[in-house]
Amino acid sequence: MTSKAAIRAEAEILFAAFRAEGALPVEADILQPAETLLDLYGEDIRARAYVTTDPLRGEMMLRPDFTVPVVQAHMAHGAEPARYCYMGEVFRKQDSHSTRANEYLQVGFELFDRTAPEQADAQVFALFARLLAPLNLRAATGDIGILMAAVRGLSTTDRRKAALLRHIWRPNRFRALLDRFSGRAPMPAARAALLDHLQKDSPEALTLAAGTLVGLRSPEDIAARARALIDDAATPAIAAPEAALLYDLLSLQAPARAALNHLRGITPMLPAIAPAVDRFATRLDALDTLGTDTATLPFEASHGRTSLEYYDGFVFSFHAADPALPPVASGGRYDALTAVLGQGRSIPAVGGVIRPGLVARLKGSV
């Protein structure tokens, strides 16, 4: 058997297993409108996805994943609750001369259910764990929902919370903002100079004095942000104990049950995370019931915080021993994505993908 045929055979087995769970097979176009993906992921996606041009339909992308088209299909005409599975190639540009594949098969499973999200999380994880069990992979889990709840619960302005939430998937930028808002990093000289200048007159007068205004960004846009900067400069730093809890949370890494105990311990000081911690506890109970040992299951509060991701709750991945290999499987909860794509409607959703090419390789069949 050629390696492609062996990988496809592996994919068929996984696909059949998802169908046996009652998942409805869905197909997605390989050519996706670029605009939707660009609006979701930003310009960074151009570095990862193949862009091509259709003379009538404009910019198109070779699908970099299935989640977006599957969610779109569900939002357009799906019944609830729903479970879907899919199998097909995805395309990812590799910008360096690495050995990572730029075209590979994915087999995926997505669960749309509003009744018991934590049960759904546990079901998806347990299903993936069962299918991958023969490979002895290392599991990794996280929960971005706890981090988001902690940010929302900070005693600071809505503007600062929004800035932190906007960069939650960009860990370096998030850290820089948090350092600034908590007073750990000094105000950069450029910002101090800018604020000095803004104090001199009204934003409108300063804009006029600065020179001819060109472009679409209006004097009102400029004045609004200038006032926001002045307000923000007067905002007190996030209190040290509260900031310390957030830093602690960012670096929390422990077996899931121990992590839960730790989170229970800090909840009285950060009460806003209580509902998210309760959901975490419910999910761990559900995982235990389904046969996952949560006393040893690894948990990292920051797991899954990379760009080009859209997870906002439970996240998981399965890794081979060789650190050079990409994750064999990954997934998570993406409730916010369904709201963005649903134009006002949304549905709690969780799912994941397996790379049959890596499964076949680890089994030694290619």
Partner 1 sequence: MLKIGVPSKGRLMEKTFDWFGARGIAMRQTGNDREYSGAVDGIDGVELVLLSAGEIPRELSAGRIHLGVTGSDLVRDKLADWPAQVAELAPLGFGHADLVLAVPVAWIDVDTLDDLDAAAAAFRAAHGHRLRIATKYHRLVRDFLTKNGVADYQLVDSQGATEGTVKNLTAEAIADITSTGETLRANHLKVLSDGLIHQSQAVLFLARAADWGAQDRATLATLCARLGLAAPADL
> Which lies closer to partner 1 via its Cβ, residue 13 or residue 195?
195
Q: What is the four-CA torsion angle of 7, 13, 17, 20, rounded to 10 degrees?
A: 140
Best CA proximity match to 178, nearest among 333, 317, 302: 302
> Which lies closer to partner 1 via its Cβ, residue 211 or residue 265?
211
The answer to whether 124 and 352 have CB atoms below 8 angstroms apart is yes
Closest distance to partner 1 from the beta carbon of 236 (Å): 20
Closest distance to partner 1 from the beta carbon of 93 (Å): 8
How far is C-alpha 366 from the chain's CA centre? 31
> Which lies closer to partner 1 via its Cβ, residue 66 or residue 169?
169
Closest distance to partner 1 from the beta carbon of 277 (Å): 29
Closest distance to partner 1 from the beta carbon of 18 (Å): 34
How far is C-alpha 181 from the chain's CA centre? 23
Residues that bind partner 1 (CB under 8 A): 38-39, 42-44, 46-47, 95-97, 163, 166-167, 170, 172-173, 176, 188, 190-191, 193-194, 197-198, 203, 206-208, 210-217, 221-222, 224-226, 229, 307
Closest distance to partner 1 from the beta carbon of 257 (Å): 34
> Which lies closer to partner 1 via its Cβ, residue 98 or residue 136?
98
> Which lies closer to partner 1 via its Cβ, residue 40 or residue 274?
40
Closest distance to partner 1 from the beta carbon of 174 (Å): 8
Closest distance to partner 1 from the beta carbon of 10 (Å): 31
